[in-house]
Amino acid sequence: MMRTRPLKVALLGCGVVGSEVARIMTTHADDLAARIGAPVELAGVAVRRPDKVREGIDPALVTTDATALVKRGDLDIVVEVIGGIEPARTLITTAFEHGASVVSANKALLAQDGAALHAAADEHGKDLYYEAAVAGAIPLIRPLRESLAGDKVNRVLGIVNGTTNFILDKMDTTGAGYQEALDEATALGYAEADPTADVEGFDAAAKAAILAGIAFHTRVRLDDVYREGMSEVTAADFASAKEMGCTIKLLAICERAGDGASVTARVHPAMIPLSHPLASVRGAYNAVFVESDASGQLMFYGPGAGGAPTASAVLGDLVAVGRNRISGTTGPGESAYAALPVSSMGEVVTRYHISLDVADKPGVLAQVATVFAEHGVSIDTVRQQGKDGEASLVVVTHRASDAALGGTVEALRNLDTVRGVASIMRVEGE
């Protein structure tokens, strides 16, 4: 039965995502009401620039005072799509204190302060939902939190940043320069306000922290995630990858480690075989593999960024939270009972592609091979190309720990015959 009193929703931020949330709330109002069981009323929109024309939004609803809006006391749901840490954090906790539940797309904040925000939601008996924070439109938080709640997830691996996938894809397939590809991603609304968050891997690391926490029922914060961005990936790296039948993707990888007694979470560029499904994830699309004991391998794929796709996830949460409000319940909160420690990157085991500039003279290959052997790193293949008394040596290893590989590279740098280490890239997905 339809409740006549509407659910009052406040929108904080009306940028790329917020404007699409407002548009869908208006255009799909009847369907949303039918699905929730009550009409949804846009009760206020907090913005920074009040003079901007916002199509479809009653100017009387617009305010620059987000704090006063969340303190009104009659709100059912606050949708936070401002981004960043403050004032978003204080606005969310203030919303809970004044009786509202919260839907947010803010991965940076959730990866840093998720535990405190969940505690605040619990304390006030309210919901905190954030499907949009990871992989945009792709349902991932809810499947991990609800559908897979009876299984044991062992690994989450995927492409969770649309901007960097867009850039890497352009560089790989069209030979476009880095800046040109980044400018296009920004114009399409994929990039964060400061694109450093995307290209240096902070955005993906925040998502990895959120995914690892939910998947392994533990707490993983942004600082726990090992992070390397993609701004140093070169055309030469793509050429090396092609020679190996691979491409390069910025991956987020969360795994159980040490016989399941700990977890690791990392974000870095990696070579993956062209035959791997992640290799064919194009443009700003995201794709995430989840491996669980009983389910086996699951793949989630779709638009990971952009206004409308992200708004789709926000609206899904709005409906879920709205239904909870009507029935006087809340959805599942934080599940961190496993309390697993996060291991350092040194314990991660994977394969490596190392490109060295060496002197082209007798015994060099043997010297290099000895260094690998001394550090317990087994070599899979070696390829050498000569150029004027110098040579480039490409070594691909079998699986080894990051600590062993680090020691190997340090020792290689100390060899007189090694002129430089041109690139080190992990090889995943085999």
Ligand X SMILES: N[C@@H](CCO)C(=O)O
Ligand Y SMILES: NC(=O)c1ccc[n+]([C@@H]2O[C@H](COP(=O)([O-])OP(=O)(O)OC[C@H]3O[C@@H](n4cnc5c(N)ncnc54)[C@H](O)[C@@H]3O)[C@@H](O)[C@H]2O)c1
Is position 213 annotated in a ligand binding site? Answer: no
87 lies in the site for ligand Y, by CB under 6 A: yes
212 close to 262: Cβ distance less than 8 angstroms: no
Region from 82-90, 155-163, 212-220, 247-255 binding ligand X, contact rule CB under 6 A? 155-163
User: Which candidate, 163, 142, 146, 144, places its Cα nearest to that of 154?
Assistant: 144
Task: Report the side by side order of strands in the sheet with 62-63.
Answer: 62-63, 40-46, 7-12, 77-80, 101-104, 128-129
18 lies in the site for ligand X, by CB under 6 A: no
189 lies in the site for ligand Y, by CB under 6 A: yes
H helices then E strands: how many in the chain?
Answer: 14, 17
Looking at 76, 203, 255, 317, which residue binds ligand X (CB under 6 A)?
203
Nearer to ligand Y, 10 or 418 (CB): 10
Confirm whether 387 is a catalytic residue: no
User: Which candidate, 183, 191, 158, places its Cα nearest to that of 284?
Assistant: 191
218 lies in the site for ligand Y, by CB under 6 A: no
Q: What CA–CA distance (Å, rounded) separates 420 from 335?
A: 47
195 lies in the site for ligand Y, by CB under 6 A: no
Phi-psi region of 425 (alpha: psi -120 to 50; beta: other; left: phi over 0): beta
Residue type for position 426: R
Looking at 17, 24, 182, 371, which residue binds ligand Y (CB under 6 A)?
17
Closest separation in Å from C-beta 266 to Na ion: 20
Looking at 42, 132, 279, 396, which residue binds ligand Y (CB under 6 A)?
132
- # residues contacting ligand X (CB under 6 A): 11
290 close to 268: Cβ distance less than 8 angstroms: no
Q: What CA–CA distance (Å, rounded) separates 87 from 108?
A: 13
Residue type for position 177: G
203 lies in the site for Na ion, by CB under 5 A: no
Nearer to ligand X, 191 or 220 (CB): 191
Q: What is the DSSP letter of 68?
A: H
Residue located via tokens 């840093």: 112
What residues numbered 130-149 form the site for ligand X, per CB under 6 A?
A: 136
Is position 12 annotated in a ligand binding site? Answer: yes
Q: What CA–CA distance (Å, rounded) separates 35 from 179?
A: 44
Region from 31-39, 157-165, 292-300, 415-423 binding ligand X, contact rule CB under 6 A? 157-165
The alpha carbon dihedral of 119, 124, 126, 130 has a sign of negative
Binding partner of 14, given ligand X, Na ion, ligand Y, none, CB within 5-8 angstroms per partner class: ligand Y
> Which residues pair with residue 155 across a beta bridge?
255, 291
Looking at 32, 263, 305, 409, which residue binds ligand X (CB under 6 A)?
305
Binding partner of 198, given ligand X, ligand Y, Na ion, none, CB within 5-8 angstroms per partner class: ligand X
81 lies in the site for Na ion, by CB under 5 A: no
Is 309 in a helix, a strand, or coil? Answer: helix
Closest separation in Å from C-beta 428 to ligand X: 19
Is position 16 annotated in a ligand binding site? Answer: yes
Angle at 171 between CA 265 and CA 383, to 5 degrees: 75
131 lies in the site for Na ion, by CB under 5 A: yes
Is position 136 annotated in a ligand binding site? Answer: no
User: Which candidate, 270, 428, 288, 275, places its Cα nearest to that of 349?
Assistant: 428
Burial level of 26, CB count in 10 A (0-12/13-18/19+)?
middle
Region from 82-90, 120-128, 138-146, 187-195 binding ligand X, contact rule CB under 6 A? 187-195
Region from 103-111, 116-124, 384-392, 419-427 binding ligand Y, contact rule CB under 6 A? 103-111
Closest separation in Å from C-beta 198 to ligand X: 5
Closest separation in Å from C-beta 135 to ligand X: 7
311 Cβ partners below 8 Å, 6+ apart? 17, 20, 21, 23, 24, 132
Contact positions vs ligand Y (CB under 6 A): 12-18, 46-49, 66, 81-83, 87, 105-107, 132, 136, 189-190, 192-193, 305-306, 310
Contact positions vs ligand X (CB under 6 A): 136, 161-163, 190-192, 198, 203, 304-305
Contact positions vs Na ion (CB under 5 A): 131, 135, 138, 140, 313
Catalytic residue positions, numbered: 207
